[in-house]
Each structure stands twice: as C-alpha cells, then as structure tokens.
Amino acid sequence: MSASRHAPPHPVPGLLARTGDNVAALRDAWLVNLSADETGRALIEADRLQSQLTELQARLAAHADAVDTV
C-alpha cells in the first residue's frame, strides 16, 4: 500500500474566507465616532483593499478559464 500525499490547501481560499468574515464583522459598526482623519485614512485603505481584491479576482477568473472551472 502506498502512502497518499496530499498537497496542503492553497492559502487563497482560506484568506478570502477570513477576510470576508472580518469585513462582515464591520457591517454594523457605528461610524459616528470616527474622526475626519480616521475617516480619510479608512477610505484610502478601503480603496486600496478593493483594488487588490479586484486584481485578485481578475487573476482568479483567468486561472478559472485556464483550468476550465465553471
């Protein structure tokens, strides 16, 4: 009997799931107490994160095409 070797899970699906959970946890966050400076920094960070996710989504879509994923 040969030993079965399994590759460790790829980090992308797990990271996306955890990121989604973290963002969902902020869904009902009260923003009234954010200062103008904090709001500005948060908007910049949210834009940066959205850009990174858009880029990753495009890469995933290209990979899905390459491996015939529906």
Host H or E run for residue 36: helix 36-66
**Domain range for 60:** 12-69
> Is residue 19 in a domain?
yes
Q: What is the total count of domains within the chain? A: 1
Q: Label residue 2 by pLDDT band (50, 70, 90).
A: low
> Is residue 42 in a domain?
yes
Q: Label residue 70 by pLDDT band (50, 70, 90).
A: low
Encoding tokens for residue 14? 């797990």
**Using one digit for the tens of pLDDT, what is the confidence trace for 19-39?**
999 999 999 999 999 999 999
pLDDT at 6: 87
> Is residue 2 in a domain?
no
- Do the Cβ atoms of 34 and 42 come closer than 8 Å? yes
Distances (CA, A) of 33 to 7, 39, 57, 60: 46, 10, 33, 37
> Is residue 4 in a domain?
no
